């Protein structure tokens, strides 16, 4: 059960210090938004490269961008431990996942709330993680969409049938009140933004969430 705090809720003027606040997390979740695929602009490869120099934990880059086929492998080459592309934006997700893996990162596929998993289930052999978005991507601090839990369950069942070590990640509105339902549905990687960075002690919040997740581990 892995906790991946989202720096989308962190202080962008002090990202090195904010990463050090979550040194006990498993990953740092970094949202890359291009103002095209989603209606928000955050940061890109130069900032991610700088974060990689100072982060105490591996970086999980979530690319909410158009043309990930062109741009995503560069994040793997830069040293991100995991690179997630949106299947809605990828022209050739199979080739893209292979390119991300070839560059040394875990390859992950993200699904927006309105995107069904079944049409993409055959991509599992190419993937190390599937991200089920539990909010509409674009902004932090949104409310959790409980109607995505059946999709989490569906992905977990498909992973069980497939075998292998494929993580199921949830991102959006994940906190102490919603994490248990996600874990029960089969998620094992939890992206938490305001639940961690909105807490007075971010490291203690990470520990609380991890303990909660472990109680509900399958």
Of these residues, 26, 60, 171, 188, which one is catalytic?
171
Would you tell me how many other CB atoms lie within 10 Å of the CB of residue 107?
Answer: 25
**Does residue 184 have an active-site annotation?**
no
Structure letter (DSSP) for residue 43 = -
Structure letter (DSSP) for residue 147 = G
Of these residues, 26, 31, 60, 188, which one is catalytic?
31
> Phi and psi dihedrals of 171, rounded to 5?
-145, 120
**How far apart are the two ends of the chain, measured CA to CA in Å?**
10
- Ranges of beta strands (E only) in the chain are 2-5, 28-33, 59-64, 82-86, 106-111, 129-133, 167-171, 189-192
How far, in Å, CA of 175 to CA of 195, rounded?
5
**Does residue 171 have an active-site annotation?**
yes
The residue written with tokens 């700088």 in the block is: 50
Q: Indicate which residues carry an active-site annotation.
A: 31, 171
């Amino acid at each position: 059960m892995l906790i991946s705090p989202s720096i989308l809720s962190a202080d962008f003027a002090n990202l090195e210090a904010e990463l050090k606040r979550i040194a006990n997390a498993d990953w740092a979740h970094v949202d890359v938004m291009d103002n095209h695929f989603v209606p928000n602009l955050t940061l890109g490869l130069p900032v991610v490269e700088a974060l990689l120099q100072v982060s105490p934990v591996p970086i999980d880059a979530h690319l909410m961008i158009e043309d990930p086929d062109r741009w995503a492998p560069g994040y793997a080459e830069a040293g991100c431990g995991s690179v997630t592309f949106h299947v809605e934006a990828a022209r050739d997700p199979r080739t893209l996942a292979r390119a991300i893996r070839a560059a040394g990162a875990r390859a992950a596929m993200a699904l927006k709330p309105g995107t069904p998993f079944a049409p993409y289930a055959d991509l599992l052999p190419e993937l190390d993680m599937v991200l089920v978005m539990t909010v509409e991507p674009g902004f932090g601090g949104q409310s959790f969409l409980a109607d995505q839990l059946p999709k989490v369950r569906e992905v977990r069942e498909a992973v069980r049938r497939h075998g292998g070590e494929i993580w199921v990640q949830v991102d959006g509105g994940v906190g102490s009140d919603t994490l248990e339902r996600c874990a029960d549905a089969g998620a094992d990687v939890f992206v938490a933004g305001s639940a961690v960075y909105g807490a007075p002690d971010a490291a203690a919040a990470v520990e609380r969430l991890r303990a909660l997740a472990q109680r509900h581990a399958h």
